[in-house]
Chains A and B, each alone.
Chain A
Amino acid sequence: MADTTFAGTDLPRRAEIEIDEQEVNRRKQFLEFRADDAEALKSLEPIAEQYADPVIEDLYRHFLSFDETGGFFRDPKVLERVKRLQREYFVRLTEGDYGADYVRNRLGIGTVHERIDLAPKWYLGAYSFYLRAVATRLLEAFGKEPQKAFSAFLSLMKLVFLDIGLAVETYIAARDRTMRKQQEAIRELSTPVLQIRDRLLLLPIIGVIDTHRARLITESLLRSIRANRARVVVMDVTGVATVDSKVAQHILQAVAAARLMGASVIVTGLSSNVAQSLVALGIDLGTLNTAGDLQGGIEDAERILGYRVVRAAETGRGPQLAERR
């Protein structure tokens, strides 16, 4: 399916994945696609040329009869172009030489379909349509030799399945890429260090902590300690996706570094599961100051700093912070 319906480019865009010669050969071995299959397909070339136009007309009639696929071809100019590309695709199936260039071309086509957001179900459905349309034509063409038509069809099916495999992989690669980008985005989520009282910082950590992000967080925490002359930091890890031994090490390192700068850290939001698994992992958390939740952590911090929070009703005045010392 070589319809480039989106941008004005006729050529398939470069594929994201690369498959080397060795891998291509391995796949062909698995499909049992051999030299005689390539020969058989090549011998079909005149027939393919002859039937290309009617098959493609049928295919697009079918596409246009469904909203999900027809939507891509509303513009007559687009329709003309994709039909032309479809014809190239179709004829290429019987041109022989199914090596690296062929694979690159097929991957490019898959990439284009993924980009325009054509779901694999329609893509695969179109292949089915193709195979059936060609089967009928082959039977016609070979007339009294249906055995030959069947054998040629089997060769074609092997090649089409090679194509399908490549197309599906471009979809998967695209999905992987999106997931990686999203993970990257979560990692790069900036971690604000907030001053909530004089000398008191709040560090709410959300998302995935890997080594790189842990470094960024620790760096910004240490700088903020100096900039705000902080004495206590409440580090809330409620929003951390997973706290395993590695993440725990990062937390302990940040806490130790903060202490070297004279600031104590109170860690809040370690869930019961996390606490149990950290103990089970044998991680030494003996030096860690913790509070059950963020509120408790801030209360502890205020106590260390000598603050006392007083309700307005108790004083007859507005809400305020009373400093004890």
Chain B
Amino acid sequence: MPAEVHVTIRDETDIVTARQRGRELAAIHGFSKTEQTFIATAISEVARNIVAYARRGEIVLATSQDQGRPCIVVVARDEGPGIQDVEVAMRDGYSTSKGLGMGLGGAKRLMDAFDLISAVGKGTTVTMKKCVR
């Protein structure tokens, strides 16, 4: 298993690939089955946002340590239209295209740490982290 896993996100099948890679990485690093599912689901959410809003982008999976506990870091990057109001976008029930828009808020709850940086017209980067309990 390389130190970092890159998955290019262009369409829906890439979403499945990204979350499967995330689950594999989590399993190797000793995350429980529930945690693996949480990580895979969160990856699915952010990858889906790339497909829905930016058309293409990338998911990078990496591992780190926090006080001796293995952690997984997920970075989702795109050069899409960006998010106008991050606070509103994080709120459950908001979406500019379709659906319930619960993706980002939900992903945040599934992970330990969640950070979103977005610039209108330039793109969005979501960084999420979860450590073994």
Interfacial residues, chain A to chain B (CB-CB below 8 A): 212, 215, 219
Contacts and interface: CB of A to CB of B under 8 A. Distances in A.
A212 B32 CA distance: 13
B133 A219 contact: no
Contacts, number: 4
A219 B33 CA distance: 10
A215 B130 CA distance: 15
B133 A212 contact: yes
Interface residues of B, number: 3
Contacts of A215: 34
Nearest to B33: A219
A224 to B, nearest CB: 14
Contacts of A212: 133
Contacts of B133: 212
Contacts of B34: 215, 219
Chain A to chain B: the 4 pairs with minimum beta-carbon distance, closest first:
A219-B34, A212-B133, A215-B34, A219-B32
Interface in B68-121: none
4 contacts: A212-B133, A215-B34, A219-B32, A219-B34
B23 to A, nearest CB: 17
A219 B32 CA distance: 10
B45 to A, nearest CB: 18
Contacts of A219: 32, 34
A212 B34 CA distance: 13
B41 to A, nearest CB: 13
A250 to B, nearest CB: 13
Nearest to B34: A219
Nearest to A216: B133
Nearest to A222: B34
Nearest to B32: A219
A226 to B, nearest CB: 12
Nearest to A218: B34
